[in-house]
Amino acid sequence: MVALAPRPGLVPSSSEDEVDDDAALDAYSVAVSTAADRLIPSVASLRVPRQVGGWAGGGAGSAVAIEPVGHLVTSAHVVAATERGTATFVDGSELEFRVVGRDPLSDLAVLRTTGGDPRPAPLGDADRLRVGQLVVAIGNPLGFAGTVTAGVVSALGRSMAARDGRNSRMVENVIQTDAALNPGNSGGALADSRGRVVGINTAVAGIGLGLAVPIDPATRRIIDALVVDGRVRRAFLGIVGGVRPLGEPMANRLGRRHGLEVVQLLEPSPAAAAGLRVGDVVVGLDGQPIEGVGDLQRRLIGEVIGGRLDLTVDRGGELRSISVRPVELAS
């Protein structure tokens, strides 16, 4: 028998390497379990009755308890065809809920429970996330309550189309994660390693590819509007646009590289009445930079309806100021 010589370049692992591996595993486990312990009591399993034609049926999803106490946030599509249902928590409590308001254009909805006050989850800020960061998904996939999966932030800044009747909108800054999501996870929490909710799981886009609506200043305003008013008022200009690179002289003048090109004007609309033209490139709104559709959408929220907005546009290499009065977007 001939003894085989060790393969060159392969060095046996040392006990120190094994210790390092154990420490890394423990740190990972502690982070996931800490987030789970903090959030599982705040995540509910939803049972949603539905009537389709003459048949009674039901749907399922997840929801997260938030402030003010007794309110839950979930995905709008989970409660799209109902006004009431039941929320069940891991401690066994079953609370009836009613839909306070839903906003299909952000895929967010707010519910109000009766008969109990579930523990609110702490909300984080998705704007602080980084690609590769650990995230934990908590929900009720396939009816299994309190399920925890973990992964990383795969990408940031994704866009997701949402529709409400004849109106459509891009949900901006969507979080992409490889944390396993399944039917029933929609409306559940996506949390950071400290157990702060940074997103509401909304879709399974493929194997190892889940999407979550971020919890950031824009979506906090949407949630607040749903809690207070039961709806979100959006302003309408009548612009269909897309990102366009600026010419070098204009880019150097403004200190940025892109603007929002007007590719179509809806008629009648405030933008058409104000004198915007197809081919104009919107580069500013009330002194704030506009570089794409998301920048414009984030500023077209309720308080600007009926007021005057000053659009700065690049028209043929010259900057012009155009005053426009947005109206409320009809549902």
What is the rounded CA–CA span in Å between residue 258 and residue 235?
23
What is the rounded CA–CA span in Å between residue 331 and residue 187?
23
Q: Which residues contact 1 (CB under 8 A, 6 or more apart)?
A: none
Give the strand pairing for 84-88 and 94-103: antiparallel
Q: One-letter amino acid identity for 28?
A: Y
186 is catalytic: yes
DSSP track, 81-111? T-SEEEEE-TTS-EEEEEEEEEETTTTEEEE
Where b means 16+ CB within 10 Å and e means fewer, 40-64 reads: bbbbbbbbbeeeeeeeeeebbbbbb
- What is the C-alpha end-to-end distance of the chain, expressed in Å? 82
154 is catalytic: no
107 is catalytic: yes
Residue whose entry in the numeric block shows the structure tokens 């519910």: 111
Q: Catalytic one among 103, 107, 216, 280?
A: 107
What is the rounded CA–CA span in Å between residue 157 and residue 126?
10
Give the strand pairing for 309-315 and 318-324: antiparallel
Q: What are phi and psi of 118, to 5 degrees?
A: -65, 155
How big is the chain, counted in residues?
331
Q: What are phi and psi of 115, to 5 degrees?
A: 90, 5
Q: Catalytic one among 77, 106, 192, 216?
A: 77
Q: Catalytic one among 106, 154, 186, 269?
A: 186
Q: Is 202 helix (H, G, I), strand (E, B) or coil?
A: strand
Question: Which residues are catalytic, by number?
Answer: 77, 107, 186
